[in-house]
Amino acid sequence: MAKNLVQKILEAHLVSEKGEWTPGKEIAIRIDQTLTQDATGTMAYLQFEAMGVPQVKTELSVSYVDHNTLQSGFENADDHRFLQTVAAKHGIHFSRPGNGICHQVHLERFAKPGKTLLGSDSHTPTAGGMGSIAIGAGGLDIAVAMAGGAFYLNTPKVVKVELKGKLQPWVAAKDIILEVLRIMTVKGGVGKIVEYTGEGVASLTVPERATITNMGAELGATTSIFPSDENTRVYLEAQGRGGDYSPLAADADATYDEEIIIDLNTLAPNIAQPHSPDNVVPVPDLHSQKIPVNQVAVGSCTNSSYVDLMRLAAVLKGKTVHPNVSLVVSPGSKQVFEMIARNGALADILASGARILESACGPCIGMGQAPSSGAVSVRSFNRNFEGRSGTADAKVYLASVETCAAAAVTGYIADPRELGDLPNVEMPDQYLIDDRLVLSPSEQPDTVEVVRGPNIKPLPVNTELAEALTAPVSLKVGDNITTDHIMPAGAKVLPLRSNIPAISEHVYVRVDPNFPSRAKELGKSVIIGGHNYGQGSSREHAALAPMYLGVKAVIVKSYARIHRANLINFGLLPLTFVNEADYDAIEQGDEIAIDNLRGQIEAGNELTAKNVTKGTEFKVTHDLTGRQIDIILAGGLLNYTKSQAV
Ligand code: F3S
């Protein structure tokens, strides 16, 4: 049967039984490569250490430092040192601060066609530009993959995006993905993988393809992918990695679940308006309005490749940044930075009045360069959610490097085609290859001591599920509790992500400041909640920190999907009321008992619980799959994975 590219790669990596391709059905795949960045990596490596596996079992694992590169206190610096030493000890490559943004560097130096890559960052799909199946996931999933465990996902629907024709001058790869976002919206990719095909593919270089797959994350897609072809070979040769090339394409008569056609011949420059990446209009629609711009930022894992920066330099050469605009530029990697420094393009950028930042995420993650109050900021980045820039009322637009450059020199949102002839910029025949900032793992791992500064605390690990549960209710909350209620973010809390005892002092403090001390005093407890419990982000600390405080089970009316998965991963029993009215009868402090807990879970979906204080009985359900039951019985995914490895 004819297969699309996604089916070919996923089926080659299946570790679960090979059956019919049924979208929505859970499958398990083998992971070839992993990557982490520092903001999520500390937890992933603490979890990996806890599994007791001495060396990673993947073909390649890389730890990057690119997010929290500001060192205004010891915490981030402690994290970097921990990451460096833990990598050396366990067979992981370490990309030092200054070497660049994880996705840009991974594309340049490590990504390979046909491989699976799992990364603890949502823009891991960047490597789809190389023909990898590259998926973003939580830290614990990465730790399991490094230990040799499978990654579980639902069989995706595959969306074919056919690119017809050829991009016209001043129209860029970024304009293609903005067009896809306009069509599919930020929710349109959920449960899907986007596969690019058509004659237009041949006119896009690998870094341009990577811009498109990078921002596929904004579609909510599992990932996006391009075929591996002659352009892939040329790019890999230029990176001194010709040996990593292999051709890959969908069969000619492959079928897809959905199809979209984009005509590159007629595509105009696009721009995403505040405050969503899918709020896209053609730049000409705004050109006549002459919207004044206060800041332009070029960089991020979306648009900071060599050609991106060369195009910027070519536009800026001999011009001056508009006096009302602050132009900030962060090259995506040391490779890009050094190449533009050596060939003089950096001098053209500097001479125009731009401000140069280090090769890191920088303003994309709110590490400096917050715009002024109410400012308009035009960025080559991938996200423009309200407040992400660090300024609550800033209006952030997302556009190509070409449109950013036009805004920088004119001072307003301008159609770059009005700038005249497009300066010619080509991909280099040979990139500058210098991997000294990537440290190889130690050849004598036993001699490496993992350095744990005061910000690195041992990872608490749950115990097997007890035979019976008797525990008081430490907290009763209502509907729509978010992960922000459970585990707040913010400058005070974020640096504590590798320090669970310290971060757990912040659990539920926005709801009840006494919760952490009360839960600790009780030793073990149960939380009662309403509908949509745990909505919001995927942050795993919202399950891990309550687990540290002794929460054994959560009983609610309904869950948000990702938080429920995180509760299971950390061995907290996620139960649901059969009769919602039973919620009303429970008060904080009541003692809840479930006899023969393990036996009841294994016997079926419904369990009988008692409110010992009130002398009543009520029914709850667990809705766990067979695999999830095993994880819960083992006390979480860490223990489960360890038991599987033996
Ligand atoms: Fe970094 Fe922003 Fe990409 S935070 S990994 S540059 S989305």
Mutation to probe ligand 1, out of 121, 298, 333 (largest number of atoms < 8 A from CB): 121
Nearest CA to ligand 1 atom 3: 301
Nearest CA to ligand 1 atom 1: 361
pLDDT score recorded for residue 480? 87
CATH code assigned to 469-645: 3.20.19.10
pLDDT score recorded for residue 389? 87
Nearest CA to ligand 1 atom 2: 364
Cα 300 to middle of ligand 1, angstroms: 5
**Of all atoms in ligand 1, which is nearest to the CA of residue 300?**
6
Cα 144 to middle of ligand 1, angstroms: 23
Pocket lining: 39 vs ligand 1, CB cutoff 6 Å: no
pLDDT score recorded for residue 188? 92
Pocket lining: 300 vs ligand 1, CB cutoff 6 Å: yes
Pocket lining: 133 vs ligand 1, CB cutoff 6 Å: no
Average confidence (pLDDT) over 586-591: 98
Cα 492 to middle of ligand 1, angstroms: 21
Mutation to probe ligand 1, out of 300, 305, 357, 369 (largest number of atoms < 8 A from CB): 300
Pocket lining: 540 vs ligand 1, CB cutoff 6 Å: no
Mean pLDDT estimate for the chain: 95
By percentage, how much of the chain surpasses pLDDT 90? 85
Pocket lining: 105 vs ligand 1, CB cutoff 6 Å: no
Pocket lining: 101 vs ligand 1, CB cutoff 6 Å: yes
* pLDDT band for position 217 (cuts 50, 70, 90): very high
* pLDDT band for position 39 (cuts 50, 70, 90): confident
**Of all atoms in ligand 1, which is nearest to the CA of residue 383?**
7
Listed in sequence order, the residues at least 6 apart from 141 whose beta carbon sits closer than 8 Å to its beta carbon are 118, 120, 151
User: Given a cut of 80, is residue 99 above it in pLDDT?
Assistant: yes
CATH code assigned to 5-263: 3.30.499.10
- The per-residue pLDDT for range 236-252, each reduced to its tens digit, is 999 999 999 999 999 99
Residues in the chain: 646
Superfamily of domain 270-419: Aconitase, domain 3 (3.30.499.10)
Pocket lining: 380 vs ligand 1, CB cutoff 6 Å: no
Cα 588 to middle of ligand 1, angstroms: 42
pLDDT score recorded for residue 493? 75
Nearest CA to ligand 1 atom 4: 365
Number of Cβ within 10 Å of residue 625's Cβ equals 11
Contact 377, 294 (CB under 8 A): yes
* pLDDT band for position 573 (cuts 50, 70, 90): very high
- The per-residue pLDDT for range 467-521, each reduced to its tens digit, is 999 999 999 999 989 888 998 866 677 778 889 999 999 999 989 999 999 999 9
Residue spans per domain, the chain: 5-263, 270-419, 469-645
Cα 459 to middle of ligand 1, angstroms: 26
Mutation to probe ligand 1, out of 123, 308, 379 (largest number of atoms < 8 A from CB): 123
Listed in sequence order, the residues at least 6 apart from 542 whose beta carbon sits closer than 8 Å to its beta carbon are 483, 486, 487, 534, 563, 566
**H runs (alpha helix) in 28-135:** 38-50, 74-90, 102-109
Sequential DSSP letters for 121-171: STTGGGGGGGT-EEEE--HHHHHHHHTT--EEEEPPEEEEEEEES-PPTT-
Pocket lining: 305 vs ligand 1, CB cutoff 6 Å: no
Would the CA dihedral through 607, 608, 611, 614 be positive or negative? Answer: positive
Pocket lining: 503 vs ligand 1, CB cutoff 6 Å: no
| d(C-alpha 160, C-alpha 238), whole Å | 29
pLDDT score recorded for residue 537? 64
* pLDDT band for position 308 (cuts 50, 70, 90): very high
pLDDT score recorded for residue 442? 98
* pLDDT band for position 187 (cuts 50, 70, 90): confident
Pocket lining: 32 vs ligand 1, CB cutoff 6 Å: no
pLDDT score recorded for residue 641? 86
**Of all atoms in ligand 1, which is nearest to the CA of residue 66?**
1
* pLDDT band for position 27 (cuts 50, 70, 90): very high
Pocket lining: 301 vs ligand 1, CB cutoff 6 Å: yes
* pLDDT band for position 200 (cuts 50, 70, 90): very high
Pocket lining: 68 vs ligand 1, CB cutoff 6 Å: no
- Cα–Cα–Cα angle for 526, 530, 536, nearest 5°? 95
**Of all atoms in ligand 1, which is nearest to the CA of residue 382?**
7
Matching CATH topology for 5-263 and 270-419? yes
Token pair of 111, please? Answer: 């990504």
User: Given a cut of 80, is residue 538 above it in pLDDT?
Assistant: no
| d(C-alpha 369, C-alpha 362), whole Å | 8
Cα 282 to middle of ligand 1, angstroms: 25
Q: Is 510 exposed, middle or buried (0-12, 13-18, 19+ CB in 10 A)?
A: middle
ipTM of the complex: 0.99
User: Given a cut of 70, is residue 291 above it in pLDDT?
Assistant: yes
- The per-residue pLDDT for range 130-151, each reduced to its tens digit, is 999 999 988 899 999 999 999 9
Give catalytic residue positions: 66-67, 121, 383, 537, 539
Pocket lining: 120 vs ligand 1, CB cutoff 6 Å: no
